[in-house]
Structure 1
Amino acid sequence: MKLWHVNTTARGGGVAEILDALCGYTQPVSPLAHCRFVTSQSAEVFAATKRIHHRLHGVDRGDLPDEREHAVFLAFAEENASRLLQRLTARDVVLLHDPQTLPLAPILAEAGVPVAWRCHIGTSAINAVADETWQYLSQFWPRGITLIFSHQSLVPAQAAGHRVEIVPPSIDPTAAKNRPMSTAEISDVLASAGLIGPRSAPEQHRHELISEGRLDSDPVILQVSRWDPLKDMEGVLRAFADSALHRSAQLVLCGPSPQSVADDPEAKSVLEGVIGRWRSLPTAIRRRAHLMCTALDDSEGNARIVNALQRWATVVTQRSVQEGFGLTVTEAMLKARPVVATRVGGIPSQITHNETGLLLNGSAGDGQFSKAVACLLTDKVRASTLGRAAAAHATQHFTTTREASDHWRIFAPSVHGNEERID
């Protein structure tokens, strides 16, 4: 009994990490084996689906695929469905992830394969842009498909009449990015990356540090995100520089190197924008803000740096404009870090304001953001209380064990009811 997860990249972003954990999962929560199929790469498809990504968040950064792009999309689906069908057996089920893979659904369904689609992105504030995009995507939902969303508020009206399941994403507490680290190990990792310690040259590795100073003993504000406009890394830097935060704390913005994320064509320009703002800062402020780009082809090194940074941080932020779920919030919570995040997407399902973190309305300006962060920097008792509650909540609700159980609950009937489908 196999559940085949289909996505477009082997590394980069939360979906890839979720699948790493599920496909390596060995505990006997269910007899369902998780397997992975990574599609071929297509710059043209990824450019079109990046626009779809923004539009599902209600942000108009380009049109829906035109006739030519739609044809490319369909050809991409045909090619990958053909390759996948050669690997399936009679008892297998396929779970497609995000818009890039969705056009495979009708092809697989026509071949008699039980198919589901999981959308990790979206917004509860549906506007005309998002609604039009859901209309476009719903043409690929065959009869009998199971639709899976991270939170009930992200289910669009077009899903009416289809089977809908809610499965919050998860993280693996035993993975290199989340496992416990000693104080000495944290220091060693950050020193090798050039973030702390003497001003000698950091160890040679593929990760890039853009910095003119060291973290030293100051409190640290951290955001870990893709270099994506919806994550608002530049806004975090702006708020830090324009407020009193830079006088009492330092800032680290950490994201994957754009070269490491094949399906995100905007990452390079977003990072360049952040670097440009960083370079424009006065020297005294610039020395207290640090940009870290991790290389995902060094998966162990990337995981260790992110883990060490999250455990070193005093306050973690997630100032997303829109967010499907926000696994970097989950990671920080698991590590008992107090989090300041925007009330968008699936983040409120993780953070209860003033109980497991602090939530800001999406319209909150730089002043409100800076005030919330400063509150946790100065009130250590409150920060510690929120962090402990966050760790308990994340451990109970957002681990791989729970997600593996969810998949068995959803897909067991498909497995048992499909013994004679294909050879």
Structure 2
Amino acid sequence: MGVVWHVNSTARGGGVAEIIGALCQADDPRYRTRRFVTSEDPALFEVTKRIHHRLHGVPAGELPDSAEHDAWCRYARANVKEFLTSADPKDLVVLHDPQTLPMAPLLAEAGVRLAWRCHIGTAGQNAVTAATWDYLRQFWSEGLVLVFSSPALVPALDHDHDLALALEKHDHPVRIIRPSIDPGTLKNRPLSDDEVSKTLTDAGLGTRPISPALDSSVVTVSESDLGTDPVIVQVSRWDPLKDMAGVLEMFASSDLPSRAHLVLCGPSPQSISDDPEAAGVYAEVVRRRDRLVSAVRRRVHLVCPALDDTRTNALLVNALQRRATVVVQKSLEEGFGLTVTEAMWKARPVVAARVGGIPSQIEHGVTGLLLDDPRDLDGFAAAVGDVVGEVVAHSGQYAQMGRNAHEFVDREMTSHREIREHTDLYRLLEGS
């Protein structure tokens, strides 16, 4: 039986950690899957977050200077040294996202066969993304297999933005593996109405809202209960590209039904070691909420579950998505967006931005609604208001859209498919 290692920079928080968790639990008779989490380095994560934004086309700071580059390489060497105390050079390795990429040439030098899976990027490549890929390519060791979530996210090597030809032009093997969800996890399993109600009440969103929440592992900012009113939900990290502040502004400035509530749910900023911006983004959303007039503010709820309590976190996200009248994903850029898949699995109507990997999940008007411009607050508000109005009126149109979404996820987006595709990747690395 072969051994496969998945290497990333954080044990929890976000879709990548969840995907790796599912892959490591896969029952594969040919491969035994293990996980290695690299060491924490707050200073380095400031650098890699700039890389993260730049791969999404956002000019958020410069490329690493010589000192930062050298620090990143030292970080890679230290982690490779630690990794090889547990792993055998004959094992297979899948590195995940930019934080781990400088490990690739070092592992290749030790004889390891490996792939790098990049979960982020943008289809709208520009000079910022081109320069960033130019920098990162120095770490692409000979024979490294590159894995992306969508063909649109594969960088064009000659900068001509001809992404349709990018797969053919690469001098590295390229594979496309779309992320997936595991329907059997606590975050995605069916919940009864009573379970949903109790979970939300315990989190401070039910009949006795308080702040902090009754469960100390969840911090909730809430002034009223949800009751039976319409609920708009976005679940995301507190990352500027997820645009939680924009969702709040859209809700506050729109003509949405006066009874509608907005719930913004993201993991506690202290729970995510590799995201130095989370605390600042959350604080800004809190400030903006506090400035709203009381009639609007009391219908805006901020929820931060701690990721070290995995059960509470998963159950709360599940309950929120099932309670939602409509789920929003107003990301400015999005590598894929597993929260979209989760909501679709729960047959929720989803209104999302047409960015990154989201269009590979949503067929506009069939399995959800796509907005071309994520910064169009009026357009988002109109689409969300239309869904809320028709769901409340029980017209049936968006209920059917939700059913279509569930069927699509069941057919295309579960971990069974992703596990099979990873098995094919492992065989490619073995040369079989």
2:113 match: 114
**Hey, what's the Cα distance between the residues in 2 that align with 1:34 and 1:14?**
18
**Hey, what's the Cα distance between the residues in 1 that align with 2:307 and 2:81?**
29
Q: CA deviation at 1:362?
A: 2.5
Query: What amino acid does structure 1 have at the position aligned with 2:277?
Result: E
1:395 aligns with 2:394: no
Relative to 1, partners in 2 of residues 1:90 and 1:415: Cα closer, same or farther, differing over 3 Å?
farther
1:143 aligns with 2:142: yes
1:173 match: 183
**Hey, what's the Cα distance between the residues in 2 that align with 1:356 and 1:212?**
33
Relative to 1, partners in 2 of residues 1:260 and 1:363: Cα closer, same or farther, differing over 3 Å?
closer
1:282 match: 293
1:71 match: 70
Q: CA deviation at 1:335?
A: 0.5
Query: What amino acid does structure 1 have at the position aligned with 2:152?
Result: S
After TM superposition, where is structure 1 displaced by more than 6 Å over at least 4 residues in a row? none
1:375 match: 386
The secondary structure found in structure 2 opposite 1:379 is helix
Q: Mapping of 1:34-49 within 5 angstroms?
A: 34-49=33-48
Greater alpha carbon shift after TM alignment, 131-140 vs 363-372: 363-372
Q: CA deviation at 1:198?
A: 3.4
1:421 match: none
2:95 match: 96
Q: Mapping of 1:24-423 within 5 angstroms?
A: 24-26=25-27, 28=28, 31-89=30-88, 91-158=90-157, 160-199=170-209, 202-245=213-256, 247-362=258-373, 364-380=375-391, 381-415=396-430
Relative to 1, partners in 2 of residues 1:259 and 1:2: Cα closer, same or farther, differing over 3 Å?
same
The secondary structure found in structure 2 opposite 1:36 is strand
Query: What amino acid does structure 2 have at the position aligned with 1:409?
Result: D
Relative to 1, partners in 2 of residues 1:287 and 1:246: Cα closer, same or farther, differing over 3 Å?
farther
- Identity of counterpart residues, as a percentage? 53
The secondary structure found in structure 2 opposite 1:208 is strand
Q: CA deviation at 1:113?
A: 0.5
- Which runs of 5 or more structure 1 residues have no equivalent in the other structure? 418-423
**Hey, what's the Cα distance between the residues in 2 that align with 1:2 and 1:164?**
22
**Hey, what's the Cα distance between the residues in 1 that align with 2:291 and 2:90?**
58
Q: CA deviation at 1:122?
A: 0.2
Quick check: 1:338–1:384 contact (8 Å CA) kept in 2? yes
Quick check: 1:246–1:285 contact (8 Å CA) kept in 2? no
Aligned-residue CA RMSD (Å): 1.3
The secondary structure found in structure 2 opposite 1:348 is helix
The secondary structure found in structure 2 opposite 1:247 is coil
- Which runs of 5 or more structure 2 residues have no equivalent in the other structure? 158-165
Q: CA deviation at 1:83?
A: 1.3
Relative to 1, partners in 2 of residues 1:198 and 1:43: Cα closer, same or farther, differing over 3 Å?
closer
**Hey, what's the Cα distance between the residues in 1 that align with 2:17 and 2:301?**
26
Relative to 1, partners in 2 of residues 1:108 and 1:316: Cα closer, same or farther, differing over 3 Å?
same
Quick check: 2:351–2:368 contact (8 Å CA) kept in 1? yes
Relative to 1, partners in 2 of residues 1:90 and 1:64: Cα closer, same or farther, differing over 3 Å?
closer
Q: CA deviation at 1:269?
A: 0.6
Query: What TM-score, normalized to structure 1?
Result: 0.96
**Hey, what's the Cα distance between the residues in 1 that align with 2:357 and 2:204?**
34
Query: What amino acid does structure 2 have at the position aligned with 1:229?
Result: P
Q: CA deviation at 1:363?
A: 5.1
Q: CA deviation at 1:412?
A: 1.2
Relative to 1, partners in 2 of residues 1:364 and 1:76: Cα closer, same or farther, differing over 3 Å?
closer
**Hey, what's the Cα distance between the residues in 1 that align with 2:172 and 2:206?**
53
Q: CA deviation at 1:33?
A: 2.1
Query: What amino acid does structure 2 have at the position aligned with 1:400?
Result: S
Quick check: 2:144–2:173 contact (8 Å CA) kept in 1? yes
Quick check: 1:49–1:99 contact (8 Å CA) kept in 2? yes
Relative to 1, partners in 2 of residues 1:248 and 1:32: Cα closer, same or farther, differing over 3 Å?
same
Query: What TM-score, normalized to structure 2?
Result: 0.94
**Hey, what's the Cα distance between the residues in 2 that align with 1:154 and 1:396?**
23
Greater alpha carbon shift after TM alignment, 205-214 vs 295-304: 205-214
Q: CA deviation at 1:90?
A: 5.3
Q: 1:14-38 deviations in whole A, cap 9, x for unaligned? A: 1001111111222x5x622221000
Relative to 1, partners in 2 of residues 1:90 and 1:267: Cα closer, same or farther, differing over 3 Å?
closer
How many positions carry a matched residue from both structures?
A: 415
**Hey, what's the Cα distance between the residues in 1 that align with 2:374 and 2:431?**
48
Which has the higher relative contact order, 1 or 2, with Cα contacts under 8 A spaced 6 or more apart? 1
